[in-house]
Chains A and B, each alone.
Chain A
């Protein structure tokens, strides 16, 4: 953009015919025309920069907004919700005066271009969202999806992503307690790197992103602003990858976790002294986002002098400064008399802090550069009044055929030997194999409050040392189920996360989601998206767990090939005393194994159909939310009353996968019998939802059965914890050693 003479508001008004590069910045023609209409003149270069990033798909949710509204409209009544959708992250009341904030976001596109930095800055971004609410971050989780495990590019992307998450999160001192790792060829070229974080605060410490009180100062603090990540949101996250275009590497940001650690400590110290009126982190769209959101959520306007922004590169233009996505920056609104103290705290932590503007009593956001006014806008038009699209959507023509391709027709194991082989093959398959190679690169001990971490069903953190109050979080998603039926697939993701939280003994309270889909410009993808949201919103309503916030990632496709629709759902739960948590591992020989729930012949989208037949077709398992709720209540009661010593939810891979995991983690085997009315194959591999397997001490057998009976939950005795092997009576026996080798050697062998 030409800057001679400076493109001020005055200059723009006087030169209406100057052509601006709106298309290169990702705006559509009608969107640009709307900007002109709003301003009553052509925008200045700086204004164009702001509108283009803020109206990008990533920041404005323009394709998804009309559907996302359902999360609000169908929100169940919940006393637990303190801050809902729309803020940096939702906040949930967990009792004893504590509030917990949590959120999951995507950093998919950057992580494909530059795996290490893409993933690292994904962690950095979600953690700043948590700090911006006033909370101390206490844990992170990372749901990850990659292309085929044996594809050469997976060997490039996965180790980089894992090292990036570890490199950043470990250096911040945040335990990594959960997440998933899934391989599927559909994510080739479009890996999904979702990052979640949890923070804890007292109720009175909740902070919001708003700039109120004329005369209050706007302080930018943290890293200097550089040329990295310019246009990251508009260019990277809002377009499909295309081989013909030049490398997008310069649009990926570079992270500095040490700087972020200082930012956390210095922000929390400023909160503690009540120095902050409003706060916003600088993530996607950088200063454009922070200034326009702070101003539009507050009572007045804002005036900013861009010359005061500390720069890493003195040659940056004002447009670039506004668009830069340099990491580790925050923006605080502080009363004038508290500014000195705020700056002192920043100085203590060696954090650069600069007053760059102030809140005004007008309603305009005005930005100055070299004495000229280069931005004069109504901040709401930038932050909130972006375009809203009613994208056309239609059930794809292939959906019926896909659903008709029933997995029930696939050849089943014909002998005990074949059954045994398939069990071994399943537990060794990349998706079902141990992810220790990955999770051992994450610190899960730091902060000294980790009660449970992966591979447990949910991660669990103690938040009060005296009372033992804790929170649990699980993230789940199954793109294969969602591909077969996006409505049910989203509900199954919620069901599984809900179940995982309850299995550890915590009560599910609230939901965050990360909705990963292909291009919204494809009506089939848009249909998947609309169906998934409808399914998730309906299910959240029924289970009484409101969606508190989340993130949408579209354009996860290369050319015509979109990823499986992949709604990833995080459920947060509370447990009044972490001492009664239920682990996955078998604890004691002789304990009785019970299967809770109904097992049906459900193999559509199953791990078995993928591993043994490389098949995807039919319908996913039936959703039964009332059953999930009942199962959850039973698991929580059983944990509270000491009736079970271990529990594991059943999901992909079915019962045998769960039993093998519990056996290997506990170092104790199991003897299983096929219950009446089921065949061995269905017993082992069915993926019917609403089930868990629990180990009950013999002294609790009667009490536990009575409880399930009284509440109407089907309960079937399936065996006993025993020995050094997993045995299915009359069929096969697999030694723990053989199972361990199969389960644990797959991932290291693939990534070596």
Chain B
């Protein structure tokens, strides 16, 4: 295959998933609203003490982002599996990993990016200062794509299984831990006035590694799941 046709395929895969998400807006909104509600529950449960809230804010927002991103994983392949489109994707004359990467990017744009955009609101709600909120957004920009990428492997392995959603969380949550530690850690350091470069570099490294390895693993997992 020539390169331009691969580019066309990538573009249309990305475009298709975005169009489908726009025509099924309720799914996209659930993830975001879940994120907003979970974080908003904490002041009600923990109490309105602003110092306490500020202290737990990075962890709370990050855990909520993690759960929200996991909640949306089920949609990544299951719809395509049910209507047979996934079979056709496997039969495309292109490297499957590249196509998968485009699907994951589309998934992040509709489920990860909204979390990044609305995180300042939650940061303010929990009393974070402007600088910490900035760092929070940077960590989410670097971290949520990693969540989508790692999650895609789990989603691919469990596609077509009954009760796959629960299984995905068991498979994927342990792998999310490093991202959580360094994501929340960076915001905590920023709030304490310490340097955040080390945390951000590590998150960047996770992202680079996930972009290289996850699509390939997801492609293999899909072939196994559909066998």
> Does chain A bind chain B?
no
The residues of A with any CB-CB pair to B shorter than 8 Å are none
